[in-house]
Structure 1
Amino acid sequence: MATQDTALVLGATGGIGGEVARQLVDAGWTVRALSRRHVPVGDDTPGISWITGDALNRHEVMAAAEGCSVIVHAVNPPGYRRWASLVLPMLDNSIEAAIAQGATLVLPGTTYNFGPDAFPVLTEDSPQHPLTRKGAIRVELERRLFDATGSGARVIIVRAGDFFGPRAGNNWFSQGLVKPGKPVGKIIYPGAPGIGHQWGYLPDVARTMVELLARREALGPFSCFHMAGHWDGDGTALTGAICRAVHRHAGRPARVVGLPWWLLTLASPFVETFREMREMRYLWQTPIRMDNAKLVATLGYEPHTPIDEAVVATLVGIGALDPMPAAPGLA
């Protein structure tokens, strides 16, 4: 029997999964986290019970989910590798566990499952006709989740723009724009000049999920929400915030250069991650914005951290910027 405020998080060692796990603990939830290592190195978050197991092992997922009312499915193959063979089996295990427990399954969503016929403004009900393999997988993920609601599971999907946040994960910010653990001197921006892009700050996305979970009994069995996040209207807002942070904290300038897509093309036959990155290039060549009217109608607002604050926290968190020393008397 599910316990009202007990959650299992799959992918708690990653960016969004870890952020949701920590915020659930702060909100008073009992949180379990499934990891292939019993306690991941460097994670000393109090209040999280780590369980050794693999998201690809159905028995281990089912056992970890025993008694949980919520399952957060935030696990992905690292570096975009082996998506086609791993993503759907992992979700199927979470679905079976959610059905067995009558639990609410939470999924972080993306814009991948939409194609040009839905651009430039996306609502929750926009047509899903993707042109890429990862997009097709995303559509199938959501189809399977919808079908699961017919067997007793409940589903909440929160779609957001490209993630960034204090803990390095599998995202464009920390794997493209800057390098974790290295001082920022050069910012490599993938977007076409003048083209808008949407970003989702991980703590804001996690807060949105936690607040929706607090209202889950009032939601439908299959509920999807879009976040407006941080809209960069011409591709300079985020890089500008990085430059300001580096100048203020390190006293030096940072320069912005374009991503050499041609180099990724040359290396793609040999590097799977580069092939997968190339497939998503279209998202950097056209403005795609998400309409958050449904989310605001449900919560009354959208959690939103100012861009400069979010960027500084991200750069400090991934080791690309030293934290500012505390003012005298405030330490």
Structure 2
Amino acid sequence: MNIHTIFGAGGAVADQLLPVLLSNNEKVRLVSRNAKPVAGAEAVSADATNYRQTLEAIKGSSVVYLLIGLQYDIRVWRAQWPVIMTNVMNACKETGAKLIFFDNVYMYGKVNGWMTEETPFNPCSKKGEVRAAIATQLLQETKAGNLQALIARSADFYGPVGFKTSMPNILVISNLVKGKKAQWLADADQPHSLTYVPDAAKALYLLAKKETAFDQTWHLPTAPDLLTGRQFVQQAAAAMQKPNGISTIPGWMLTVAGLFIRTLKELKEMNYQNEYPYLFSSNKFNKAFGFTPTSYSEGIKETVAWALKVQQ
């Protein structure tokens, strides 16, 4: 069988990848803890912390996309991520499936300059330490020749993908749609790279179909322009014909709010990403695949159009 299996069905990236796979006439299996029927795809319920369930869900797959998004809680990450990575890798080894791991940039820590695939792991957060450990685990298994795998890494993302996991969507787009003032974390005048999720989804499929792309790390296509939080707000506000005022959320406010709201407490240690320039280069991918990332102006317009439609 030649099945493309998505672990983490229903998430922001998975929901963008599914139509890409279906439009290319791929057989698709969607795996999540509570699988829901989706037209054109097979839905399977499985818990990735359970090896037997993981193995059964992967059998018959040619490619597995590990797109799971765990609860944003370091206690959950420490307990579950190593188990999930081990289970998925072992199931891929047992079945011969290739593995694509969708990763973030937490393991790099604070970087002075552009982040590239060659940037060393130097985490400065607890969550970064967890991501560094599981990425290293996968890289070691791949280098040893035990399985075919690649890491596809994304910057913070935005796009027509909901209001649960994208900070620009939550703080800017959602607030503007509701008639509220846009917000930004820490410093709105620092340049901050953002990956447009539909581009990331297209890129995952391109990587899956290119044999020589495996056993490598790839940064997913991201517009190279230097865009600040304030400029993101200005473009989004203009697209909605709304005031472009912005309020920043300082670190001390996250500390105080974190006493009552767990997610805000968890965000505090990652605030360095908004206090300093956050520059993510996808030149390697762009050149290898002749890919031009969606510009911020176009991506913001598409996201705004989607958000306004959702509101209606």
Shared fold per TM-score greater than 0.5: yes
Q: Supply the AA of the counterpart residue of 1:284.
A: N
* Structure-2 residue corresponding to 1:189: 184
Runs of 4+ in 1 over 4 A off after TM superposition: none
- Residues 8-17 or 165-174, more deviating: 165-174
- Structure 1: state its 5+ residue gaps: 326-331
The 1-side partners of 2:176 and 2:248 are apart by 21
Question: Does residue 165 in structure 1 map to residue 155 in structure 2?
Answer: no
* Structure-1 residue corresponding to 2:100: 106
The 2-side partners of 1:18 and 1:79 are apart by 20
Q: Supply the AA of the counterpart residue of 1:115.
A: G
* Structure-1 residue corresponding to 2:59: 66
* Structure-2 residue corresponding to 1:264: 254
Instruction: Confirm or deny: 8 A CA contact 1:76 1:87 kept in the other structure.
Output: no
* Structure-2 residue corresponding to 1:209: 204
Deviation at 1:316, TM superposition (A): 4.4
The 2-side partners of 1:48 and 1:255 are apart by 43
Deviation at 1:268, TM superposition (A): 1.7
Question: Does residue 311 in structure 1 map to residue 308 in structure 2?
Answer: no
Deviation at 1:137, TM superposition (A): 1.1
The 2-side partners of 1:184 and 1:16 are apart by 27
> CA, structure 1 residues 85+270, in 2 after alignment: closer, same or farther (shift >3 Å)?
farther
Query: Does the residue aligned with 1:13 lie in a helix, a strand or coil?
Result: coil
The 1-side partners of 2:281 and 2:49 are apart by 34
Question: Could you tell me which of 213, 216, 229 is aligned with 1:219?
Answer: 213
Question: Could you tell me which of 77, 84, 105 is aligned with 1:90?
Answer: 84
Q: Deviations over 1:193-228 (max 9, x none)?
A: 42110101110011111111111x2234x2111245
Question: Does residue 238 in structure 1 map to residue 232 in structure 2?
Answer: yes
> CA, structure 1 residues 262+37, in 2 after alignment: closer, same or farther (shift >3 Å)?
same
Deviation at 1:136, TM superposition (A): 0.9
The 2-side partners of 1:267 and 1:324 are apart by 28
Percent identity at matched positions? 23
TM-score calculated relative to the size of structure 1: 0.85
Question: Does residue 156 in structure 1 map to residue 150 in structure 2?
Answer: yes
> CA, structure 1 residues 152+188, in 2 after alignment: closer, same or farther (shift >3 Å)?
same
Instruction: Confirm or deny: 8 A CA contact 1:11 1:76 kept in the other structure.
Output: yes
Count of paired positions: 308
The 2-side partners of 1:190 and 1:88 are apart by 29
Query: Does the residue aligned with 2:54 lie in a helix, a strand or coil?
Result: helix
Question: Could you tell me which of 136, 140, 161 is aligned with 2:133?
Answer: 140
Query: Does the residue aligned with 1:197 lie in a helix, a strand or coil?
Result: coil
Deviation at 1:265, TM superposition (A): 0.7
> CA, structure 1 residues 25+228, in 2 after alignment: closer, same or farther (shift >3 Å)?
closer
- Structure 2: state its 5+ residue gaps: none
Question: Does residue 291 in structure 1 map to residue 288 in structure 2?
Answer: no
The 2-side partners of 1:127 and 1:269 are apart by 33
The 2-side partners of 1:128 and 1:8 are apart by 29
Deviation at 1:73, TM superposition (A): 0.5
* Structure-2 residue corresponding to 1:24: 21
Q: C-alpha root-mean-square deviation of aligned residues, in Å?
A: 2.4
Query: Does the residue aligned with 2:308 lie in a helix, a strand or coil?
Result: coil
Deviation at 1:6, TM superposition (A): 1.2
Deviation at 1:24, TM superposition (A): 1.5
> CA, structure 1 residues 92+273, in 2 after alignment: closer, same or farther (shift >3 Å)?
same
